[in-house]
Amino acid sequence: MPHADFVHLRVHSAYSLSEGAIKPDKLAGLAAAGNMPAVAITDTSNMFGTLEFTQYCTKSGVQPIIGCQLGLARTGTILAPDYVVLLAQNEAGYANLQRLTSFSFLTGDAVKPQITREQLCQYADGLFLLTGGSLGPIGRLLAEGQMDEAKAYLSILKDAFPDRIAIELQRHGEPQEAATEPGFLQLAEAFDLPLAATNECFFAKREMYEAHDALLCIADSRVLAEKDRRRVTPEHWFKPAAMMRELFKDLPDACDNTIAIAQSCTVMTTTRKPLLPRCPKVRDG
């Protein structure tokens, strides 16, 4: 049987704490059952699920893609960050992803872990960048009607990630996605950048939406009846490749490119000897 012609590049495992609800073994199984040749793990601000994820993918005959969703600081503020996705293409990229993840917890008085754009560009080697959809920095600027600023920002990212960047498109049914998509398409054409279709997966099946919604309420000490609270849509599940192709049937290249991106990511997490601290020798007595 031929492989599916779409790969999920933005998936939150249960290691996206109080956010994701897909265990690594389940994630590998979903990809294998859907005949997907590869699947990415992109937990928010951490990478401590990558080894377990890699081991389960290897057993399932699925190529693991090691990634992370990182907050990108808004210039001059400590507001909640914009989000981008980084995928490790090689050992250098994996090491840089570890560095950036660590930096995200060391950035000043930020309300959430985040890195600066300067840090992102400095440690871009070996990483593939997805621009973050409507909740990324480019999407936010488009939503605010700042096309010139979006172009300037994207130009900086393209210079830092030559041939390693894609305009991310999402169609969960959110109003901001529809509002920003025309701008994304315009930018992709203007900068000669590929499109990448993603479905930000937080749970395995559509019927798990209500349970996941309850998880978010527990995490935030809120109740289901409250309107002004964190939530996702029922569409944020691990959709089959055929459903994603249908969803983006007007932009087939956006799905084709997920395969090409997956093929460019060849690094795998392996077990390594622990790095113990160096201690001075202590004399007997």
- Read off the pTM: 0.93
Helix axes 24-33, 50-60, angle to 10 degrees: 30
pLDDT for the residue 134: 95
pLDDT for the residue 78: 64
Token digits of residue 144: 């605010």
pLDDT for the residue 192: 98
Token digits of residue 158: 């393209």
pLDDT for the residue 248: 98
Among candidates 195, 197, 196, 72, which has minimal Cα distance to 141?
72
Token digits of residue 146: 């700042």
- Quickly count: other Cβ atoms within 10 Å of residue 215's Cβ: 18
Residues with Cβ within 8 Å of residue 182, at least 6 apart in sequence:
none
Among candidates 13, 125, 140, which has minimal Cα distance to 71?
140
pLDDT for the residue 85: 98
Please identify every stretch of the chain with a pLDDT value under 70, giving residue numbers as ranges: 1, 76-78, 108-110, 282-285
Instruction: Determine the straight-line distance between the first and last CA of the chain, rounded to whole angstroms.
Output: 70
pLDDT for the residue 251: 98
pLDDT for the residue 220: 87
Q: Which domains does the chain have, with CATH numbers?
A: 24-263 (3.20.20.140)
Among candidates 198, 184, 165, which has minimal Cα distance to 87?
165
Is residue 74 classed as helix, strand or coil in its secondary structure?
coil
Residues with Cβ within 8 Å of residue 136, at least 6 apart in sequence:
72, 82, 83, 84, 168
Q: Which residues pair with 66 in a beta bridge?
A: 41
Is residue 168 classed as helix, strand or coil in its secondary structure?
strand
pLDDT for the residue 233: 95
pLDDT for the residue 284: 66
pLDDT for the residue 271: 72
Can you tell me the distance from the alpha carbon of 129 to that of 132, in angstroms, rounded to the nearest whole number? 9
pLDDT for the residue 278: 82
Q: What is the DSSP string of 196-260?
A: EEE--BSBSSGGGHHHHHHHHHHHHT--TT-SSS----TT-B---HHHHHHHTTT-HHHHHHHHH
